[in-house]
Amino acid sequence: MPLDSIRKLPGAGSFKANLEDYEVTRALFSWEAILSELQGLPDGAGLNIAHEAVDRHAAGARAQHLALRWLGKDGKVRDLSYADMSHGSARFANVLRSLGVTRGDRVFALMGRIPELYFAALGTLKNVSVFCPLFSQFGPEPVFQRLSRGDAKLIVTTSALYEKKVSALRERLPMLQYVLLADATEDVSADVLSLPKMMAAAGDHFVIPPTSPEDMALLHFTSGTTGMPKGAVHVHQAVLTHYATGKHVLDLHPEDVFWCTADPGWVTGTSYGIFAPLLHGVTNLVDEADFDAERWYSVLQDQKVTVWYTAPTAIRRLMRIPGEPRTRYDLSALRLIHSVGEPLNPEAVVWGNKALGLPIHDNWWQTETGGIMIANYAAMDIRPGSMGKPLPGIEAAIVTRAEGGIQVITEPGVEGELALKTGWPSMFRAYLHDEARYAKCFVDGWYLSGDLAKRDADGYFWFVGRADDIIKTSGHMVGPFEVESALMEHPVVAEAGVIGKPDPLIGELVKAFVVIKAGHEANDELRLELTGFARKRLGPAVAPKEIAFIDSLPKTRSGKIMRRLLKARELGLPEGDLSTLEKE
C-alpha cells in the first residue's frame, strides 16, 4: 500500500467537526475568543484551571453528567458526576488549607490512577498550590530527586508506596512537611495522615481564592529521553491551550466518552487525561490497569469510547497481534484516534485504517509546550508520517541557528529545527532552578524545541528526529525515525531503534536494533533480508550498515525509545540518568 497517499477520515462530513476548515478556523482564531468560551472566577477573581474544569459545570446544566468513569484493575467501577468532582476536589483543597499548605506550595502525587489522584490534582489547583504528579513506578531515588528539586511540601501517596519509596527519604527532605495516605483509615503519625479521614472531616465547598493567569499551577518533569529530566513550570493560563486543543484537535463534543491512556505522571496524562475532557464537560474514562491488548479493546468496546488518545508505543504493540480487532470487537462508537509522544510510523496510520477502521491522527508537542502544538485534525486529510499542521493560534517554523540569532527557513522541504513563536498560553514559564537552560531555549522571540523537522509546500510538518539523535553518515544527516519506519514496513519487524555509531571512515554508521514478531527466527538470513529491504527503500547511504536483533528496546515509562541508551550500551559508555527507564 503506498504510504504517501492522502486519506480522509471516513465519515468526516457525517459528523460535524469543530474544526471543519483549517484555514478558516486559523484566520478567525484568537486566544481572546477562547477565553470568552470559559467563565473566569466569580467577581473577576481571575482564571483557575479547576474552576473551568469542574466547578463551572457543577454549578450548571452538566452537574449530574458523568465526568469521570473509573475502571479499577479488579473490575470495580466508580462513576463521578461533575458535582462529585467538584465536591471531592473541594474537600481536598480544604484539607490542604487546614494543613497550612498555600499558594505556590508544591503538592506532589505518587500513586496509581485512582480517583483520589484526580481529586488531588483539581483540589491542589483550587488552592492555588502547585500540582506535581509522579509516576507511581518510579524507584526511591528518582522520587527523591524530584521531591527535592521540586521543593515538595506535601505528598499524597498510598501506604505501600510510602513504605517502599518515601519513608526512608524523609530525613533528606526537610521541606516535606506532610504525607497524606490515600488508603489509610487511621493516621500513622503526626505528619503521616489518613487522607480519607481528613477528606471526610473537610467541607465539600471551597471558594477558590483569586488566581492570576500567571500563578504557577503545574510542575512536570520531562520524560528524560535525552538526559536528566527537567522540571517544566506551567501556569493557570495554560487552560486556554487545554481547552482550545480539546475543541479543535480532540474534537470533543458534549456526548463524547474520551479515553487518554497516558498516566498523569507524564504531561499528556494531566493536560489530556484530566483537564481537556473536563473543560469540555465530557465523560473522561480512567483505567487503573496498565496496557493489555485484550483489555484495551474491551474497554473501547464496552465503554463505547468515541475519542481515544494514545501513543505510538501502544499502537505498535497492538500491531504485533495478528488479525483485525474490529472483526472481534465492536468498535463502532469510536470516531477519532489520536497519538502523541513519539513519531508515528506511517505504517501505523495505515494499520489503524485497516484494523480499527480509522486512521490514527498524530500530533506533536512537548512537556514544555503544555499542550498540543501541531496536529492532524479530524476533518483534514492525513498524510501518513506527518505530524500535521500548527494549532490555530500557534505559529510554527523551521529555523536554523545563525550567527547571533536564528533564520527562518521559508523554502519547503528543508530540514531545520522546529520552533514556535513565543507567547502561547501554555508555554512553560521556567525550568525549575535552571534559569540558564531556560534562557537558552529562546532566540529572537522563538522557542527552539530541540527537534528537527521539515515543512512541505502545503504546510504539513514532518518530524525528522531529535537534534541529539540525528546521525551524520558520509555527509548525510539521517533521522532515526526514517530508518525505523522503513524497517517497520517489513512484516516480521515489530519495532526498531536506530543509532549512529562512530566510524573512522564515514563519521557515523547507521545501526539498527530490531525486535521481531513472535514466531520468527532471528538469524543471518533475516538480517540479510532486512538489509536488502531497507536498502531498497532508503538507498545504501541511509540504510543500516549493521542490524542487531534485540528482545525489547529500552524505553521511558511513557513509552519512548531511549536511543541514547542503545548508543551508550553499544559503545560501552556510562548510561546516564535512568530514572525514567521502563523495567527491562
466 binds, among Mg ion, ligand ATP, none (CB under 5 to 8 A by kind): ligand ATP
Binding segment toward ligand ATP, per CB under 6 A, in 12-20, 209-217, 299-307, 363-371? 363-371
Distances (CA, A) of 210 to 146, 155, 318: 28, 24, 46
Q: Does 313 bind ligand ATP (CB under 6 A)?
A: no
Distances (CA, A) of 31 to 107, 117, 150, 237: 29, 30, 30, 11
Give CA torsion, residues 483, 484, 489, 495, to 10 deg.
Answer: 160
How does DSSP classify residue 191? S
Least gap, CB of 224 to ligand ATP (angstroms)? 4
48 binds, among Mg ion, ligand ATP, none (CB under 5 to 8 A by kind): none
Among 341, 385, 392, 500, binds ligand ATP (CB under 6 A): 341
Nearer to ligand ATP, 229 or 425 (CB): 229
In the structure grid, which three cell numbers stand for residue 291, read together?
496496557
Binding segment toward ligand ATP, per CB under 6 A, in 37-45, 129-137, 270-278, 338-346? 338-346
Distance (Å, rounded) from C-alpha 278 to C-alpha 265? 18
342 binds, among Mg ion, ligand ATP, none (CB under 5 to 8 A by kind): ligand ATP
End-to-end CA distance of the chain: give it in Å, rounded.
34
Binding segment toward ligand ATP, per CB under 6 A, in 137-145, 295-303, 340-348, 565-573? 340-348
Nearer to ligand ATP, 199 or 372 (CB): 372
160: number of CA atoms within 13 Å, CB side?
5
Q: 507-516 and 546-549 as β-strands: parallel, antiparallel, unpaired?
A: parallel
Nearer to ligand ATP, 88 or 346 (CB): 346
Least gap, CB of 341 to ligand ATP (angstroms)? 5
Q: Does 306 bind ligand ATP (CB under 6 A)?
A: no
57 binds, among Mg ion, ligand ATP, none (CB under 5 to 8 A by kind): none
Contact between 219 and 235 (Cβ < 8 Å): no
Least gap, CB of 463 to ligand ATP (angstroms)? 4
Nearer to ligand ATP, 224 or 371 (CB): 224
| Beta pairing partners, 69 | 79, 285
* Residue 579: count of CB within 10 angstroms of its CB: 20
Contact between 225 and 560 (Cβ < 8 Å): yes
Q: Does 447 bind ligand ATP (CB under 6 A)?
A: no
Give CA torsion, residues 410, 413, 415, 421, to 10 deg.
Answer: 40
Q: Does 560 bind ligand ATP (CB under 6 A)?
A: yes
Contact between 562 and 496 (Cβ < 8 Å): no
In 222-354, which ranges are E strands?
A: 231-235, 257-260, 283-287, 307-310, 336-339
162 binds, among Mg ion, ligand ATP, none (CB under 5 to 8 A by kind): none
Q: Does 366 bind ligand ATP (CB under 6 A)?
A: yes
Contacts of ligand ATP in 182-241 (CB under 6 A) = 222-227, 229-230
Nearer to ligand ATP, 144 or 463 (CB): 463
Contacts of Mg ion in 198-227 (CB under 5 A) = 222
Q: Does 342 bind ligand ATP (CB under 6 A)?
A: yes
Contacts of ligand ATP in 377-396 (CB under 6 A) = 387
Q: Does 309 bind ligand ATP (CB under 6 A)?
A: no
| Backbone torsions φ then ψ of 515, nearest 5 degrees | -100, 125
Nearer to ligand ATP, 105 or 368 (CB): 368
Contact between 576 and 142 (Cβ < 8 Å): no
Distances (CA, A) of 393 to 244, 310, 396, 424, 462: 9, 24, 10, 8, 19
| Backbone torsions φ then ψ of 423, nearest 5 degrees | 110, 0
Among 364, 424, 438, 513, binds ligand ATP (CB under 6 A): 364
Distance (Å, rounded) from C-alpha 195 to C-alpha 198? 5
Q: Does 362 bind ligand ATP (CB under 6 A)?
A: yes
Nearer to ligand ATP, 89 or 386 (CB): 386
18 binds, among ligand ATP, Mg ion, none (CB under 5 to 8 A by kind): none
Distance (Å, rounded) from C-alpha 21 to C-alpha 138? 43
Q: Does 112 bind ligand ATP (CB under 6 A)?
A: no
Distance (Å, rounded) from C-alpha 129 to C-alpha 40? 18
Residues that bind ligand ATP (CB under 6 A): 222-227, 229-230, 340-343, 362-364, 366-367, 387, 449, 451, 463, 466, 558, 560
Binding site for Mg ion (CB under 5 A): 222
